[in-house]
Amino acid sequence: MALKPVGGKYEGVWINELKNGDKSYYINYRDEHNKPVKVLVGKSTISNSFTARDAYSKLIEVKYKLQHDQEPTIKGSRTTKIKLDTIWDEYFKYSKANKKSWITDKQNYNKHIKPLFGSKPVKSLKSLDFEDFKQKLFAEGYEAQTVKHQLTLVKTIINHAIKHDIVKNFNNPLANGKVKMPNIDNNRQAFLTKEEAKNLLDILKSTHLLTYHLTVLLLFTGARFSEVTGAASQKNKTNEKTGLTWNNINFKTNSIYIVKTKKGSERHIYMNDLLLETIKYLQNNKDKNSNRVISNSRGGIVLKMPEYFMTAIESIIPGNKKKDMKYKITAHSLRHTHASWLAQNGLDILQIKDQLGHKDLTMTLRYSHLIPNTRHEATKALSI
């Protein structure tokens, strides 16, 4: 495009807008010989912030020096005022094209990060700014996981800008442990009581049979969701080699065989009366085109727990949806409930490990406090 005057309060400043989005700024004045001069003083690009105001300031400087018989110095000015909003725009293009969580990134940036840092030059941001940001979020009642997400997002945005030379000669203020990330304790502590579980099953049996049967399977096998359904952990992905099939059911021994997976060891689970009743119902009503024990209405893999489950949980535990993840009852809590009940019934920690298919004892130890402690009674009985 051709040069055109910016106009308004920036009289004497001209702009040339290029097709790639860059902008070149010129100033127009008369030199010491009263000859008109038009010269480039700055460019606005993705990595360089230069505005009409910057160009006008340069024009005022030039005129001042000419009026005082000084030789004006005209150099293409480059500034380092690129703002966080600018590099966020670039990162968002990448996020939208490459990340499934791009919507969450956008929501987090607009809600938490943009109001405080969006209009600030990136190079003005210090580690202390983000320490203060962290404490602010905690003071507002946000959990450690949420706070960590915000800090990680800012760190990732700045790293993206540095990697692609959008910001140069700058060290990320969140890198190398300069800002300590919150410690996250993901160990779930919430599990259903037997009364809550009974109420849950009563509700589901009368509202949605698929959810009811799936809940029974998860609750009384202690298996992972993927081990029962074949759904992988990543959204909308499946694993045709996993999930319960009718080949895994042994009616002679009333047991279910859980195959070995990347996460879990193989094992056999005994079927109690309610689980056996569910398995027999599913067998009598199975899809002729599928060998899966449980499947959706089209005979395919159930990708996630139906919403009926969380609705039923909310009715028996009001406010559950708003609880921190550590204390919220979810579909995965059925596995945690199974293990907790085993511990309360006195099963030793190694047997619980085998029942859950844990590959090492570390994960299982979280249930040890629920096992009735007979150590003191045994010590008291010692005699010679």
Over residues 162-183, the pLDDT tens digits come to 998 888 788 999 998 888 888 7
Instruction: Please count the other Cβ atoms lying within 10 Å of the Cβ belonging to residue 292.
Output: 23
Task: List 44's β-bridge partners, or say none.
Answer: 23
CATH code for residues 84-163: 1.10.150.130
Q: What is the pLDDT of residue 79?
A: 47
Q: What is the pLDDT of residue 325?
A: 73
The CATH architecture assigned to 4-67 reads 2-Layer Sandwich (3.30)
Q: Any idea where the domains of the chain sit in the sequence? A: 4-67, 84-163, 194-370
Compute the CA torsion angle 344, 348, 351, 356 (nearest 10 deg).
Answer: 40
Helix or strand holding residue 130 (H, E) = helix 127-139
* Mean pLDDT value of segment 297-317: 92
Q: What is the pLDDT of residue 240?
A: 55
Q: How much of the chain exceeds pLDDT 90, in percent?
A: 41
Pairing of the two strands 249-250 and 255-258: antiparallel
This prediction has a pTM of 0.55
| Equal fold, 84-163 vs 194-370 | no
Q: Which CATH class is domain 194-370?
A: mainly alpha
Instruction: Please count the other Cβ atoms lying within 10 Å of the Cβ belonging to residue 384.
Output: 2
